[in-house]
Structure 1
Amino acid sequence: MKHAHHPEPEDISLVEVMSALGDPLRLGLVRLLADGRERGWGQLDAPVAKSTLSHHLRALRDAGITRTRQEGTRCFVTLRRDDLDACFPGLMKAVLESAEAHDAGAGVALRSDRDAPV
């Protein structure tokens, strides 16, 4: 990843956000990131190939849902909760509560430190 593009808050589109959140795996990733902590891509455990996980993380980033930071060869991701709450008040709270209630994206988890690739 060269330089990741992150839309400015005023350029975040509700249609793109809702489209990105419509995928169960992406919703699971958002649920994991909702605690506000930055996560290394290697910490994310999903039932898909690494290239597919990368595709889903890019879709979230392109929609303005997450921010990706590269440090050397490692990538880290955070949820842009403040930006999303400013653009669409109450949306993320409602989405996360509903996802939790319906266990949406349950196949996504965090690897334990000993399982995470270096």
Structure 2
Amino acid sequence: MGPARRLEHPTPGQMSLDTILSALADPVRRTIVAQLANGHDDQACIAFDLPVSKSTSTHHFRVLREAGVISQQYRGTSILSSLRNEDLNIRFPGLLNAILGAD
């Protein structure tokens, strides 16, 4: 068996307010974040009922991951996503709650 596949994530210090706000400006991405906030961690991408194609959905998850809003990890053939609440609150206290409360 080969090495585990890993996806790149920014550290809290690398997170940019502009990048996070840009990622969260899209309503589909806010839907993903809201579902993660209201559900449980480690949700597979297929668990999300999004009004976009699979490839567009993949793009939205990548934008959120690269901004630092979510973390993703491989589990078998699935990619599981979770919200980076703690990291976001350390870097930008209250930001995520404000955005989720606004929707």
When the two structures are superposed, what TM-score results if normalisation uses the length of structure 2? 0.91
Q: In the alignment, which residue of structure 2 is the partner of 1:34?
A: 37
Matches within 5 A, 1:1-16: 2-16=5-19
SS of residue paired to 1:69: strand
| Structure 1, gaps ≥5 residues long | 100-118
Q: In the alignment, which residue of structure 2 is the partner of 1:52?
A: 56
Offset at 1:38? 1.9
SS of residue paired to 2:10: coil
SS of residue paired to 1:75: strand
| Structure 2, gaps ≥5 residues long | none
Offset at 1:45? 1.0
RMSD: 1.0
Specify the code of the residue in structure 2 equivalent to 1:52: T
Specify the code of the residue in structure 2 equivalent to 1:14: L
Offset at 1:3? 2.6
Q: In the alignment, which residue of structure 2 is the partner of 1:64?
A: 68
Matched, 1:75 2:79: yes
Identity %: 40
Equivalent position to 2:100, from 96, 103, 112: 96
**CA distance in 1 between partners of 2:88 and 2:30 (Å):** 15
Offset at 1:87? 0.5
Tell me which of the two structures has the higher relative contact order, counting C-alpha pairs closer than 8 angstroms and 6 or more residues apart.
Answer: 1
Compare the two structures and name the one with the higher helix fraction. Answer: 2
When the two structures are superposed, what TM-score results if normalisation uses the length of structure 1? 0.80
